A and B are shown apart, each in its own frame.
Chain A
Amino acid sequence: MIKFLKEKWFYIVILLIALAVPFIIPNRYFFQVIITCCLFSIGALSLNLILGYTGQASLAHGAFFGIGAYGVAIMMQTLGWSFWIALPLSALMTAFIGFLVGFLALRTRGAYFAIVTMCLGEIVGLVISNWVELTGGANGINGIAPPGAISLPFIGQISFEGQTPKYYLILVFLIFTLFFMHRLVNSLKGLTFMACRNNELLAEAVGINTFKTKLLSFVVSIFFVSMAGGLYAILMGSISPSVASLGITFNFLLYVLLGGAATLVGPVLGSFALPVLQENLQFLQEYQMVLFGVLLVVVIIYAPRGLMGVITALRSRFNRKKVGT
C-alpha cells in the first residue's frame, strides 16, 4: 500500500484535485470551461489512439463526434428513450459506421488515408445539414433534456440537473477512457498498434495482420469519440451541424499534438492547456485563432513531441545534472 502510494502519489493528487474542482471554482463560466475540457479530453484521447499509437491521421473524428451527439439527441428527443440507453446504443451504432468507414478507408495509407477520412467527414457534415427531417438542418436539435436521475446504493438518488453532477458524470467517463486506453496500449494488442505505426512492412513480416489491427484501433477510437459526442449533446442541451465539422477534428488534433501524441497524459494536458490559454487570450478576439495556427506550425517544427516531449527533455536534463554532481 505504501509502495503504491509512493509510486502513484502524483496521480492521486491530480484525482483529488479533480474531485474537488466544483468546490474550488466558484465561477460558473470557468466551471463550464473545465467541464468542456474534460469532455474534449475524451475525444483527444480517442484520436490519440489512432493517430498517436497507430500512426493513421484520421480527419473524420469530428464527424463521428457529431454522429454520436446526433445519435443521442435523436434517440432522446424524437424517440423519447432514456439517456442511459441512448448513449451506449449511439456509441455502438457509430462504432459500427466507423467499422464500415474504416473498412473502406484503411485500405489507403498516409496522406491518402487523411484525405479520404477528411472527405468522409465532409460528407457526414453535408448530410447532417441537409437531412432536415432527421437532424433539424441548420437549426440543429434544441432542448435536449439532461440524463434521467439514477439511484445508487449508499449514495441515493442522483439527478443530473446542474453543472456539478454533469461534471462528475463526464469525469467518470474520462477516467474510464484513460483507464481503458492505459490497459489497451500497454497490452500485447497495443504493441501491435505501435508496430503498425513504426513499420508496417516489418509488422506484417512478423505475422501481424496490419489491416485488422488498424481497423480495430480505428473502431475503438470511434467508439470513444462518439461517446464524447453523446455527452456533449446532454452537456450543451442543443447541437447544430457545427458539432460534426472539420473544426472539431482540428481541435482534437491540436490538443493531441500540442500535448504530445502517443502519450496518455499529453492529450489531456493539451485539452486543458489550450482552452484555458484561449480564455486568457480573449482580448485578441479574431486573431486568437491565427495565433493557434502559428502555434501549431511552431510546435511541429521545434517541439514535434509536444508539451510532453518538452517535459520529458527537461526532466532528463534535470536528472542528469543531479547524477553529475
Chain B
Amino acid sequence: MDLFLQQLFNGVMLGSTYALVALGLTLVYGILQIPNFAHGHMYMLGAYVCLFLMGVLGLGYWPALIVVALIMAVAGVILERLAYSPLRNQSPMASFISALGALFVLENSVIAIWGPQGQRIGNPYPDIVEVFGITMSVQRLLVIGIAFLLIVLVQLFIKKTTLGSTIEAVAQNPEGAKLVGINIKLVSSLTFAISTGLAALAACLVAPIFILSPSMGSLLGMKAFVIVILGGLGSVPGAIVGGLILGLIEALGGGYLSAAYKDVFGFGALVLILAIKPTGLFGKEVQGR
C-alpha cells in the first residue's frame, strides 16, 4: 500500500509538470492550428537558462524562476515570428517541418554552449516530509503546488480578463475575432509567450530533481504531444487531465512493471488509443489535418 501511495505521489508530481507543458502546447494549437514540435525544446532551454542564471549570475531560485519565465516568453515570441509566422497560410506540413528545423537549432545550440553531458541545479529545498508512510521532498510538493497554481491562474486569465478571452475568441472563430477588431498577430504572440513561459517554469520546477541534458526536450515534447492528443488537440481541460493520466501511467508502470520501459507505456497507450479512436479521447472529427 505504501509503495502504491508513493508511486501515486510521484505520478501526480510528474503529471502536474506534464500538464503545464501540455497546456501551453494545446493553447498554441488552438490558436494557430500548428503542432509546435519545438515546444519540448523550449522547455529544455528554460532549464538551461535557469542553470545559467543560478550558476553563473548567482541568482537565487525564486528570482531565477521569474527571470526565466520572462526571458523564455520573449524567446517564444521570437520563435513564432521567425519560424511559424511566415508560414501562416501554408499547409500544416510546412510549419511542422519548420518546427523540426527550430528544434534542431535549439538542441544543438545548447549542446554547443553547455556540452552534451548532464548538468545539475542545486536543490533549494532538500528537506523531506513523511506523511502516511510516503516520503515527500519539499521540492516535489512545491512542484505540485506551483503547477496547479499556474494552471488555475492561466484559466482565470483566459476566462476572466478581456485580453485573455481574445485567446479563446481566436481559437473558436478566427474570422469572427478579426471582424470584432482583435489583432490576431498580437494574440498569437501572446499565446506563444504564455505557452513558452509555462513550459520554462515547469522545467525550472523539476530542474532541481532531475538531471538536465540537451536531449530532455525531445522526450518531453513527445510526451506533451501524447497528452495533447489523448485530451484532444486544442482542449485545455483535456491537456490537464491527460497530463495527470500520463504521469500516473508512467509512475505506476515504472514502479510495478519495468522501470526501463516506463516511457514505452505512455507511448504505447497513445498508439492504442489512436488506433481505436483516431481523433483522441476528447477530440472532435478533424478533416484533412
The interface of chain A, by Cβ under 8 A from chain B, is 55, 57, 104-105, 107-112, 114-116, 118-120, 122-123, 126-127, 130, 200-201, 246, 250, 253, 257, 285-287, 289-290, 292-297, 300-301, 304
Most buried by B among A200, A295, A296: A296
Q: Decide if B112 touches A253 in the complex (CB within 8 Å).
A: no
Q: Decide if B267 touches A293 in the complex (CB within 8 Å).
A: no
Which residues of A sit under 8 angstroms from B288, Cβ to Cβ? 109-110, 200-201
Q: Select one of B86, B108, B226 contacting A301, CB under 8 A.
A: B86
Given contacts A116-B270, A293-B102, contact A111 B96 (CB under 8 A): yes
9 closest residue pairs by CB, A with B: A296-B101, A293-B104, A293-B105, A286-B112, A289-B108, A297-B101, A119-B267, A110-B289, A104-B275
**B87 within 8 A of partner (CB):** yes
Q: Decide if A126 touches B264 in the complex (CB within 8 Å).
A: yes
Question: CB-nearest residue of chain A relative to B226?
Answer: A119
Which residues of B sit under 8 angstroms from A289, Cβ to Cβ? 104, 108, 111
Q: Decide if A293 touches B103 in the complex (CB within 8 Å).
A: yes
Q: How far is the CA of A265 from the CA of B94 in the complex (A)?
A: 21
Q: Select one of A57, A108, A246, A290 contacting B278, CB under 8 A.
A: A108
Question: CB-nearest residue of chain B relative to A111?
Answer: B35
Q: How far is the CA of A137 from the CA of B82 in the complex (A)?
A: 40
**B176 within 8 A of partner (CB):** no
Q: Decide if A119 touches B100 in the complex (CB within 8 Å).
A: no
Q: Mark B227-271, 1 if CB is under 8 A from A, else 0.
A: 001000100000000000000000000000000110110011011
Q: How far is the CA of A130 from the CA of B261 in the complex (A)?
A: 8
Q: Decide if A126 touches B108 in the complex (CB within 8 Å).
A: no
* Least CB distance, A97 to chain B, in whole angstroms: 13
Residue pairs across A and B with Cβ atoms less than 8 A apart, 23 shown, are A107-B278, A108-B278, A109-B288, A110-B289, A112-B280, A115-B35, A116-B274, A118-B222, A119-B267, A123-B264, A286-B108, A289-B108, A290-B104, A290-B109, A293-B102, A293-B105, A293-B106, A293-B108, A297-B83, A297-B101, A300-B97, A300-B101, A304-B94
**B139 within 8 A of partner (CB):** no
Q: Decide if B229 touches A112 in the complex (CB within 8 Å).
A: yes
Which residues of A sit under 8 angstroms from B94, Cβ to Cβ? 300, 304
**B165 within 8 A of partner (CB):** no
Q: Decide if A112 touches B274 in the complex (CB within 8 Å).
A: yes
* Least CB distance, A320 to chain B, in whole angstroms: 26
* Least CB distance, A282 to chain B, in whole angstroms: 14
Which residues of B sit under 8 angstroms from A285, Cβ to Cβ? 112
Q: Mark B28-54, 1 if CB is under 8 A from A, else 0.
A: 000000010000000000000000000
Which residues of A sit under 8 angstroms from B229, Cβ to Cβ? 112, 115
Q: Is the interface of A mostly helix, strand, loop or mixed?
A: helix
Q: How far is the CA of A253 from the CA of B37 in the complex (A)?
A: 15
Q: Decide if A109 touches B108 in the complex (CB within 8 Å).
A: no
Report the contact-size class of chain B (Cβ under 8 Å from the partner): 35 or more
**B92 within 8 A of partner (CB):** yes
Which residues of B sit under 8 angstroms from A123, Cβ to Cβ? 264, 267-268, 271
* Least CB distance, B94 to chain A, in whole angstroms: 5
Which residues of A sit under 8 angstroms from B96, Cβ to Cβ? 57, 111, 114
Question: CB-nearest residue of chain A relative to B103?
Answer: A293
**B61 within 8 A of partner (CB):** no
Which residues of B sit under 8 angstroms from A293, Cβ to Cβ? 101-106, 108
Which residues of B sit under 8 angstroms from A286, Cβ to Cβ? 108, 111-112
Q: Decide if A300 touches B87 in the complex (CB within 8 Å).
A: yes
Given contacts A57-B96, A116-B274, A293-B105, contact A246 B218 (CB under 8 A): yes
Q: How far is the CA of A105 from the CA of B274 in the complex (A)?
A: 8
Given contacts A110-B92, A126-B264, A201-B288, contact A296 B100 (CB under 8 A): yes
Q: Mark B203-216, 1 if CB is under 8 A from A, else 0.
A: 00000000000000
**B162 within 8 A of partner (CB):** no
Q: How far is the CA of A4 from the CA of B270 in the complex (A)?
A: 53
Q: Decide if B278 touches A201 in the complex (CB within 8 Å).
A: no
Given contacts A109-B289, A119-B222, A289-B108, contact A297 B82 (CB under 8 A): yes
Which residues of A sit under 8 angstroms from B289, Cβ to Cβ? 109-112
Question: CB-nearest residue of chain B relative to A110?
Answer: B289
Question: CB-nearest residue of chain B relative to A106?
Answer: B278
Q: Decide if A296 touches B97 in the complex (CB within 8 Å).
A: yes
Question: CB-nearest residue of chain B relative to A199?
Answer: B288
Q: Mark B130-143, 1 if CB is under 8 A from A, else 0.
A: 00000000000000
